[in-house]
Amino acid sequence: MSHNIRHLQPVAKVKIIFAILLSLLSVYLFFEGTLFGLILLGAALKLSLREGFELDLEKKRYRNVYSIFEVNFGLWKNLPEIEYLSVFKTIKNSRARVIAAEANLGFEVFKINLFYNRNQHIEAYVSDDVDDAFKVANHIAIFMELDILNATTPEKEWINVTSRS
């Protein structure tokens, strides 16, 4: 049984297909003698980038994962004694620019934090879908035997995932 938990943000299949095609074109252009292939390769890698979180419960460590074409990168850090998980709603700001016009856009996201030392936290996951956020939170909570604080609504509530009290 694996003691690792890894959750990566989903990427649309169209982006992956486009990234593969760009990669192939970039390799062709590079071997044809143009450096434009390297620029296209950078764009392809950016399109295929997935971010996520990985826990290694056996060695008690965690890392933020960056995955490019299923190759994972990230530095391991020691995992403190986690007290509980929290799922909460927040606004993610994004800036859109077109020549001289600029707009700030905000949209709802749901974050999962692992709390330790009463008020310190580790951000574990971000999703734009509340059901996806709770699915990931339940997965982590079951393996780590933790309770979940549902802070997505004004009335916060505890969700007991494990049998402990």
**pLDDT tens, residue by residue, 120-145:** 999 888 888 899 889 989 988 988 88
| Structural domain count of the chain | 2
Domain that holds residue 18: 1-79
- Token digits of residue 37: 């292939």
The answer on 63 and 47 residing in a single domain is yes
In a domain, 85, yes or no: yes
> Is residue 22 included in any domain, yes or no?
yes
Q: Are residues 145 and 84 in the same domain?
A: yes
What angle do the packed helices 13-31 and 36-48 form, to 10 degrees? 160
Tens-place pLDDT, residues 21-77: 999 999 899 888 888 888 888 888 888 888 888 888 888 899 999 998 888 899 999
State the sign of the Cα–Cα–Cα–Cα dihedral 144, 50, 125, 121. positive
Is 150 within 8 Å of 141 (Cβ atoms)?
A: no
Are 148 and 106 contained in the same domain? yes
Residue 116 lies in a domain: yes
Q: Return the SS3 of 101.
A: strand
Spatial separation of the C-alpha atoms in residues 147 and 43, rounded to whole Å: 41
Task: Let me know whether 54 and 103 are in one domain.
Answer: no
